[in-house]
Structure 1
């Protein structure tokens, strides 16, 4: 299973931060689609008030109809094709796109983010129509929002996230997720998944989103819907990366993408046709949404090139064909072209991949592009060897770079200057091949040891990540009721304290419900605890299903539940409690044997400024539950209402 989401951390971000959220008509659409008795006519009327969303909705619906069917031309037809869950998620995604096209995070490319998200949406829709793991309308929305956590981090922490992205760009070997965990105590995958759950997206769809950027953590059963979704998301991300990559990079990315398609059982020809269709739709959707799109790659040519090069590539992978040191690029920075040529010959004879730069002002950019393991830099005359080395040593990759200073004479002053700047070794002119070979062997040995050390560090980081996941799972287990699968009393205590503090700090309403099962002891006594356990699991699921997305239900005792309702006044809480009572009353319990029914008595209370703490609020709700029992059970009561009317 994927790593659990740190809900407490998410609630902290939600309470104090400005998370991306839908606005305007999208909110009305989302609320309507969450209502059990919404009519299509009422929903269509709200949708028609936003002409932009009408166009997008009809476009999305037409992407799902068969080619030989009449095109969708009205909102009502689109609603019938898509269904309410998909309409809700599309409204959410398109609202975010409209309202978060730009922001304060300088290092975050908002245009590229949305173009990539659109590509993922179209790729997911096309892929699931072949592998059929989820409905295509759900897949489109899932692809569009799969990386919304990055947008959230850019919104919440614009300066810090910008610095983090620049650090990743400078040092590609760094893992963005690891840096995010250190900087924000939550990765964009975890944050995005928590946001999707908060918006009502089913957990079965969210779990693949949580781990598709680290598929090695996905432990779904072979052939399961979640496993198929992870594969589709990984391939969709690869398609988006290739479409947005420079033309010179596309051929390099194609083989891995074809391999991913093969795992999904897609023949090359079919996959190329699918990619070409995605590219066409990308251009059409880009115009509709006013999102920048690039020229579509020539997928057929890229696929043909991969087939042509596959055999030589396999030969090149043979270790016996690899020259020693060929995986260690070297950068020469020197103004004299003849000297650079001489050193190139000596280095290539030793098996190094050689790159040159004559301009010292461009040397740092060359070093960032090449990412060399060794650097030979001329330290003579007016050249700026010292400033170049100092600048490189401030970068992450530059700290592990092995640097040789090329000196005119064995001068103690120059040696001290080179050492102070950060050079590791030196070589004197005229360059003797034997002397250079000794220096290169020393440099290669140092680089090899550094790489081994980095591998060991990566293994430790991986072990630490696994340990962190295990700890989170243990923590989640400690906070979950084993029988019903909902949060337990320990979680309830922590959560009510957090919500109490947030309500007091921001002067927001906070209500709670105490739910007591009527006649549960009699079921246990008459039919045994096994029947009682079945009834308890089913009534727990019913209660949870009757609550709103923001409400939290916890089992605090054998037949007692606490419901925490943030941002909810007493009137709204009473309405929610009545809906909960009605759901329990109407639910037949299937035990596979004796027929039993359960009702609930609910006490409701709202936080008042005079209350000392959360315990006082819970006691007041408990008083309401007691009054409900006295009144005859199967009802909702609030001591605050009784007191106000007495």
Structure 2
């Protein structure tokens, strides 16, 4: 049974503290934007504390403007253009990008993941400016975070998710969502949608992220605004796949993209121009975010090829957007193995120092991966450290404001375990005390002697090795906890599922009703329920036996489920009785749904392998109103409607709130 992840289960994952989450200045921005009385000046002051975010915010604001508009050059202007919700989501997305460039899942290509997400963000922004189904800045955020569920699974279950990716690499035809469901009792789309809702993203956007990989399951009318949003997300994913695919695959992927753009009402010429602009923006954003973007495809040339020839080599329409595991699986490019190997060596970041000192450090650590940065720009040092995430950092203490940005690094998650070695011009007690208070682990006096440097670096290596061992042991504990959480989730799901029919059982129905009742009361939304009772089911059991009766129950349950919307749920609450919960449905909509269920049951020819049977159902419908003291009153009213339907001759739908309403 595939049920959407509910917020109760999501809160359990969230409480563990391992889900990807914003950090640093992003948290302050998010908290401020959630306040109704925050001033633009106060928010701008906080944003200016993160120069890297300032640049990204201004660039995003300019990207959301139409042609011929005056360029945004200040934080205040950017805030006026984007608005608080978009700024909050962008702070979240860019914080995740900065802090989750690496992770424990060696099979997952983090760099490719973020480059792919960046193309999706730019594609959504460009499409939003043309289709006008959502604000372009909100579309940018949705594209950037649409695949965040995959990042969450790599963080929660790195070893298990790695095995899923290996399975996909071994059998490319397998569906990533199905493998995730089997491994974790949830998939990345469900988890990502729950995270987006938790972060305050509107429900239609979260639903688009949940279903854009399986739009056939969304149950949304093609003319609805949500359908256009989902189609834009599907097309953005296709553009990202083409941008990161080998050149030999470009022609095959281009033709389905042109068909998708046509459905959105974007002409061929406009779409090609849009893709060319996305490619240029991809390169600029990549440099801004320190991401490898690769070579931009020749969209104009691909479009100019003979359309018939392209169609012959294009994938079938159902394969236009293959599972995203093809983008996140074990890296098949030549640099994929090197990326995993780089995490096994010592990453060293040297700030300042002379060329001679850098040479000696490199000679003393021959197998390490080195990065150098000048210490003149404090923001650049911190940004580079967050990007590289070194294990050993050597600092020229003669640089200005060293103590301040060392404290800033120590406040980050990776900075707490960072080994810091300071190069001092003198061993003055005041300087030593300042360095120690800021968080330096060891020091080395100038001029740097090779023997002293070797001793200090060996001590650093031993400390880092001990940290790695502790991290490995902690990872084993987390792995055990993850397996236990998955087992508990499966047991919980089994306890909530009716074994015979595979639909939720009475226990689930009670919990779900309580949740929906509370939500509808809080937000003043409609809620309807239906009691569906099989007619003359006892005679089936008496005449043909319980085995045939069980077959009939299973097939009727499947027929009922097939006629419901995605947000509706059918539960088996008794031997031959079902409860249908319909959130956001008024009485008229519920009556129409009840008629669909009645017709589906009446038209079902039950296959028993022997006698062919037909059954009908009697349905009672009720809608919540303010006079009802609780959910029991609502279900009791629907139950009375089902009883009246039986009295009126069965095979009909009755709602006591509309006297005489039987179809």
Does the TM-score normalized on the shorter chain lie above 0.5? yes
Which residue of 82, 86, 90 corresponds with 1:106? Answer: 90
Which residue of 538, 541, 546 corresponds with 2:563? Answer: 546
CA RMSD across the alignment: 5.4
Contact 2:242-2:250 within 8 A present in 1 as well: no
Distance 1:311 1:578 in 2: 55
Residue 302 of structure 2 aligns with which residue? none
Which residue of 367, 376, 391 corresponds with 1:360? Answer: 376
Residue 414 of structure 2 aligns with which residue? 397
Residue 128 of structure 2 aligns with which residue? none
**Runs of at least 5 residues in structure 1 that lack an aligned partner in the other structure:** 13-100, 121-149, 210-232, 245-256, 259-268, 301-309
Specify whether residues 239 and 457 from structure 1 end up closer, same or farther in structure 2 by C-alpha distance, changes over 3 A only: farther
Work out whether 1:421 is the aligned partner of 2:438: yes
Which residue of 525, 537, 544 corresponds with 1:520? Answer: 537
Specify whether residues 195 and 476 from structure 1 end up closer, same or farther in structure 2 by C-alpha distance, changes over 3 A only: farther
Residue 486 of structure 1 aligns with which residue? 503
Specify whether residues 466 and 421 from structure 1 end up closer, same or farther in structure 2 by C-alpha distance, changes over 3 A only: same
Distance 1:600 1:410 in 2: 89
Q: How far off is 1:298 after superposition?
A: 7.1
Work out whether 1:379 is the aligned partner of 2:397: yes
Alignment of structure 1 residues 94-493 onto 2, 5 Å = 105-107=89-91, 108=93, 115-116=119-120, 187-188=191-192, 205=214, 240=240, 243=243, 270-271=248-249, 274=252, 286-287=271-272, 292-294=277-279, 297=295, 327-334=345-352, 337=354, 340-351=355-366, 352-361=368-377, 362-380=380-398, 383-493=400-510
Residue 602 of structure 1 aligns with which residue? 619
Q: How far off is 1:358 after superposition?
A: 4.0
Structure showing greater Rg: 1
Contact 2:397-2:423 within 8 A present in 1 as well: yes
Specify whether residues 638 and 409 from structure 1 end up closer, same or farther in structure 2 by C-alpha distance, changes over 3 A only: closer
Residue 104 of structure 2 aligns with which residue? none
Contact 1:111-1:291 within 8 A present in 2 as well: no
Contact 2:357-2:448 within 8 A present in 1 as well: no
Contact 2:598-2:651 within 8 A present in 1 as well: yes
Distance 2:583 2:488 in 1: 28
Distance 1:188 1:313 in 2: 28
Residue 497 of structure 1 aligns with which residue? 514
Residue 261 of structure 1 aligns with which residue? none
Specify whether residues 285 and 542 from structure 1 end up closer, same or farther in structure 2 by C-alpha distance, changes over 3 A only: farther
Distance 2:340 2:210 in 1: 47
Specify whether residues 242 and 577 from structure 1 end up closer, same or farther in structure 2 by C-alpha distance, changes over 3 A only: closer
SS in 2 for 1:563: strand
Q: How far off is 1:556 after superposition?
A: 0.5
Residue 5 of structure 2 aligns with which residue? 6
Distance 2:297 2:479 in 1: 36
Specify whether residues 421 and 174 from structure 1 end up closer, same or farther in structure 2 by C-alpha distance, changes over 3 A only: farther
Contact 1:515-1:625 within 8 A present in 2 as well: yes
Residue 55 of structure 2 aligns with which residue? none
Q: How far off is 1:619 after superposition?
A: 1.4
Work out whether 1:624 is the aligned partner of 2:623: no
Specify whether residues 277 and 153 from structure 1 end up closer, same or farther in structure 2 by C-alpha distance, changes over 3 A only: closer
Q: How far off is 1:450 after superposition?
A: 1.8
Distance 1:545 1:327 in 2: 54
Q: How far off is 1:411 after superposition?
A: 3.3
Specify whether residues 375 and 174 from structure 1 end up closer, same or farther in structure 2 by C-alpha distance, changes over 3 A only: farther
How many residue pairs match? The answer is 453
Q: How far off is 1:628 after superposition?
A: 1.7
Distance 1:393 1:405 in 2: 14
Distance 1:316 1:200 in 2: 32
Residue 131 of structure 2 aligns with which residue? none
Specify whether residues 465 and 442 from structure 1 end up closer, same or farther in structure 2 by C-alpha distance, changes over 3 A only: same
When normalised by structure 1's length, the TM-score is 0.57
Specify whether residues 599 and 201 from structure 1 end up closer, same or farther in structure 2 by C-alpha distance, changes over 3 A only: farther
SS in 1 for 2:501: coil
**Runs of at least 5 residues in structure 2 that lack an aligned partner in the other structure:** 12-84, 95-113, 125-136, 159-183, 198-202, 219-232, 262-267, 281-293, 299-331
Residue 568 of structure 1 aligns with which residue? 585
Q: How far off is 1:558 after superposition?
A: 0.3
When normalised by structure 2's length, the TM-score is 0.56
Distance 1:200 1:454 in 2: 33
Q: How far off is 1:199 after superposition?
A: 7.8
Contact 2:192-2:210 within 8 A present in 1 as well: no
Contact 1:513-1:603 within 8 A present in 2 as well: yes
Q: How far off is 1:9 after superposition?
A: 5.2
Distance 2:422 2:256 in 1: 52
Distance 2:389 2:563 in 1: 57
Distance 1:276 1:629 in 2: 57
